[in-house]
């Protein structure tokens, strides 16, 4: 996996962020096991709660097109530091991704990033196996 490329994709994904309320743009780039990349941006709403994070936009785009196996996601926000995914997005990741291998790349730039597994950012979470 080319981490720098995925980081760059997450930065590019911010272009279409719809953020009239927070003015805080976030971009995400989700890598499928077969090498495809789905971009997502945050999409806000006047009623606030319907707001969708960039990460979930990327997941929902991919799943709605039949993709359910993922390797990594890169995330970039209008912050000067690492942007960690919110709890709801971590829960969505846990639905589809192997916690031990799925990589979450926090990209400040294409050259400055940190990498965590889903397990590291979402320990002891509730997931599909718990319903079995």
Q: Which residues are catalytic?
A: 55
In the list 36, 65, 79, 86, the residue contacting ligand THU (rule: CB under 6 A) is 86
Residue 53 engages ligand THU in binding (rule: CB under 6 A): yes
Candidates 58, 72, 89, 106: give the one binding ligand THU (CB under 6 A): 89
- By three-state DSSP, how is residue 40 classified? strand
Residue whose entry in the numeric block shows the structure tokens 């990327």: 58
By CB under 6 A, tell whether 106 contacts ligand THU: no
Burial of residue 77, with CB atoms counted within 10 A of its CB: 0-12 exposed, 13-18 middle, 19 or more buried: buried
For ligand THU, which stretch binds (CB under 6 A), given 58-66, 83-91, 96-104, 106-114? 83-91
Contact 113, 106 (CB under 8 A): yes
């Amino acid at each position: 996996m080319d981490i720098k490329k995925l980081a760059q994709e997450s930065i590019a994904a911010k272009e279409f962020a719809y953020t009239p309320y927070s003015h805080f743009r976030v971009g995400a780039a989700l890598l499928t096991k077969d090498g495809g990349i789905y971009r997502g941006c945050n999409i806000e709403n006047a009623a606030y709660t319907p707001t969708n994070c960039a990460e979930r936009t990327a997941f929902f785009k991919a799943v709605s097109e039949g993709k359910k196996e993922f390797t990594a996601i890169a995330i970039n926000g209008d912050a000067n530091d690492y942007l960690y995914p919110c709890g709801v997005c971590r829960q969505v990741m846990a639905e589809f991704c192997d916690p031990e291998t799925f990589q979450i790349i926090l990209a400040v730039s294409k050259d400055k990033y940190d990498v965590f597994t889903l397990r590291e950012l979402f320990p002891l979470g509730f997931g599909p196996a718990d319903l079995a």
